Amino acid sequence: MKSLKEKHLEAIETKNFLSSKVDEIAKKVKNDSTGSCWDIEQSLNYSYEEAKRLDTISTDDRAKQPFWGLSVGMKDLFTIKGLKTTAGSRILENFISPYDSTVWTDLKSRGALMGAKLAMDEFAMGSYSNTSSFGRVSIPGYPEHTAGGSSGGSGAALAADIVDFTVGSDTGGSVRLPAAFCSTVGYKPSYGAFSRFGMIAYASSLDQAGFLTHKLEDVQYLLDSGISHADKNDFTSVGIVAQGEVKKHLTVAYFPSILTSSGVTEDVKQAYAKLIEEYRQNKDVTVIEVNIPLMEKAAEIYYVIACSEASSNLARFQGVYFGPQLVEQNFEGNYWEQCAQYRSKFFGAEVQKRIMMGAFISSSENFQLIFGKAQALRAEIKKQLNEVLEKADVIVIPTSPSTSPKWDDIAKMTSVQIYMSDFMTVPFSLAGLPAISMPLYKDKNGLGIGIQFVGKQYKDYQLITDTLTLTK
């Protein structure tokens, strides 16, 4: 598999390269059975128009645009001017964005070709790509298994090689889980590394754009292009500097409790134990054991905060500003009753659940007791993880407690079980730390086992450099 840089350099000299590349994408999308791509006809029309424009750029100028010749798949919550952006919800089924998100603007201005709009869980609320209003997403070659969520389309489209790289969003693991299940690299940047402007919000203090690639060097290539920067449209964006040093010796922190946890499958435990043993045998790596009991409660803390923020963020969808117009529907009752009927008609079940949980937590009697406590615990988790990262260069932990489950098994799980299965990814989201899921192992059925590498906040490039050393 060629790197993004190699593909870019190869493409520069070829005449009408991108127009024929869209032909190839169209063929692959037509043959794709995972459900990864949405709004296919409109997306392809857009891609052909963009390809025509990009093909007219001179060879010299192509070389100055690091993504020229590369196609990217965008999760359907990044706004692209003139294209439908649904966030997987019927409430935005016909929403045509009047502006570009910052992430897309940055990719486009560096020559990237938008190859596909990608499937996702409704408003990014899901771990298994099964909550969308428009269909679920499976792993290429494994139709009975979920591609993971919420950026399932981003994982499956990359694994099927429809596009060269994909963009997803990660609130509590939504880039890392699909990456682990689809055997790709998944990069969740530090909170603030990328602007959230034009990214439809789920939980604003946790949402972060992320990237899925075939190789870790490709993530490095993305950051080298300068796409991480502060954005005047998002006051939480700070950007990171693409600079890291190759260290001769690395200290790795691991969680021995994972190896005895009843919530983790044997395949995952064996893979984790094997990796740690390899590091122990490596004279250039020191392994230290860590234990943060509070991490066992990270999923509960995460859902308290995420649902509260979601309940607030989704209040804007009431049939006036976005989506099918309230006045065109035949609802009965006063304005508020009509809004309530509208929201229950167009929001899916998972979204409604989280809105109600958020409403409960945000109510005056529970706000300080539950939400306030969760915020304090979040700060405590962040403090404890930062203390670990003072002693270690990298934290290493599996991405998911299991490989991709089957659809039938997911249907039998309660939502509490589904939420709690996020316990390996959410601690680092709560702390705003960068994390990379690496496709290091497979189980006996060939399903991917991802291992996360976590580094210090805003030291994303150093984390990539260290992870390259630890996985070569």
Partner 1 sequence: MSIDLKKLESLGCLSLSQEQRDEILAAVQANIETLKSVADIQAAPLEFPTTGNTQFRTGDFSSPDKQGLNIGDDSYFLAPKTVKKD
Q: Which residues are catalytic?
A: 75, 150, 174
Nearer to partner 1, 96 or 379 (CB): 379
Q: How far apart are CA 270 and CA 274, in angstroms?
A: 6
Nearer to partner 1, 351 or 451 (CB): 351
HSE at residue 280, side-chain half, CA atoms within 13 A, is 9
Specify the DSSP class assigned to residue 68.
T
Reported for 412-419, long-range contacts at CB under 8 A and 24+ positions apart, including other chains, are 415/350, 415/353, 418/127, 418/128, 419/299, 419/303
Nearer to partner 1, 42 or 204 (CB): 204
Nearer to partner 1, 361 or 389 (CB): 361
Q: Closest distance between partner 1 and the C-beta of residue 378, in Å?
A: 8
185 with 468: CB under 8 angstroms?
Answer: no
Interface contacts to partner 1, rule CB under 8 A: 191-192, 205, 230, 232, 235-241, 243, 293-294, 297, 300-301, 303-304, 307, 311, 315, 318, 336-337, 339-341, 343-344, 347, 349, 352-353, 355-361, 363, 365-366, 368-370, 372-380, 382, 414-416, 419-420, 431-432, 457-459, 462
Q: Closest distance between partner 1 and the C-beta of residue 454, in Å?
A: 15
Nearer to partner 1, 142 or 302 (CB): 302
> Between the CA of residue 312 and those of 303, 304, 341, 430, what are the distances in Å?
14, 13, 18, 18
Q: Closest distance between partner 1 and the C-beta of residue 81, in Å?
A: 25
Nearer to partner 1, 217 or 380 (CB): 380
Q: Closest distance between partner 1 and the C-beta of residue 252, in Å?
A: 20
Q: How far apart are CA 425 and CA 302, in angstroms?
A: 10
Element (H, E) at 251: strand 250-254
Q: Closest distance between partner 1 and the C-beta of residue 392, in Å?
A: 17
Which residue do the tokens 């203390």 mark? Answer: 387
Q: How far apart are CA 51 and CA 45, in angstroms?
A: 10
Element (H, E) at 124: none
> What does 144-166 look like in DSSP terms, one character per residue?
EEE--SSSHHHHHHHHTTSSSEE
> What does 217-232 look like in DSSP terms, one character per residue?
HHHHHHHHTT----BT
Q: Closest distance between partner 1 and the C-beta of residue 376, in Å?
A: 4
Q: Closest distance between partner 1 and the C-beta of residue 413, in Å?
A: 11
Nearer to partner 1, 83 or 290 (CB): 290
For residue 33, whether the previous peptide bond is cis, meaning omega lies within 30 degrees of 0, is no
> Between the CA of residue 59 and those of 5, 11, 17, 109, what are the distances in Å?
16, 10, 12, 16
Question: Helix or strand or coil: residue 442?
Answer: strand
Specify the DSSP class assigned to residue 433.
-
Instruction: Count CB neighbours of 331 within 10 A.
Output: 16
